[in-house]
Amino acid sequence: MNENPLIPLFGYFALLSLFAVGGANAAIPEMHRIAVEVMHWMGDRQFADSFAIAQISPGPNVIIVTLIGYHVAGLAGAAVATVAMCGPSCVFAFLVARTWDHFKEARWRIAIQAGLVPVSIGLIGASAFVLARTADTNIYAALITAITALIGFATRINPLWLFAVGGILGLSGWL
């Protein structure tokens, strides 16, 4: 590569940042297209592994861009990709939030807010459904999901305990 890879890395992710409506998971196919098909930064296998590592690590799933950046140009690449992916959308979110709070009493603002809430909840429900279909490959995994859902809804037990149980069952090869 004769050109500095940090420049396209920054450019692509900064652009994606402002077009990634629906969050990081909705942007995964586009990231794959850029990283594997257009720029040839990595292969399919490496992309899939990056996705798995991002899932394993706690925190927002958008962290996959950090891994892609790391793969392309080490620590500098990781920093540039993360800043590019989060920077523009964060600045935009900040400006909208300020304006939004300014019009707290406006009727149009109340209508937009009230209108967006049910759409938002339906979409989160849909992503839970899609994730459940991929995660629950057998009856034991589905049971863990169902039990966690019940306990999470009805009690205030710290869900990390359920994660620990799930992790141990997974390691033992039950799932």
Interface with another protein, residue 157, by CB under 8 A: no
State which residue, 2 or 59, has the beta carbon closest to another protein: 59
Give residues 54-113 in contact with another protein (rule: CB under 8 A).
54-63, 66-67, 70-71, 75, 78, 82, 85-86, 88-90, 92-94, 96-98, 100-101, 104, 107-108, 110-113
Tokens of 48: 């899939």
For 115-157, the DSSP string reads HHHHHHHHHHHHHHHHHHHHH--SHHHHHHHHHHHHHHHH---
| Helices (H) then strands (E): counts for the chain | 7, 0
Comparing CB distances to another protein, the nearer of 36 and 85 is 85
H or E stretch including 61? none
Q: Does 38 bind another protein (CB under 8 A)?
A: no
Look-up of token digits 């692509």: 12
Please report how close the Cβ of residue 166 comes to another protein at its closest, in angstroms. 4
Instruction: Figure out which of the listed residues 3, 40, 139, 156 binds another protein, where binding follows CB under 8 A.
Output: 156
d(CA 85, CA 76): 14
How many angstroms separate the CA atoms of 12 and 130, rounded? 27
Q: Which CB, 40 or 156, lies closer to another protein?
A: 156
- Out of 6, 28, 39, 132, the only residue in the binding site for another protein (CB under 8 A) is 132
By CB under 8 A, tell whether 148 contacts another protein: yes
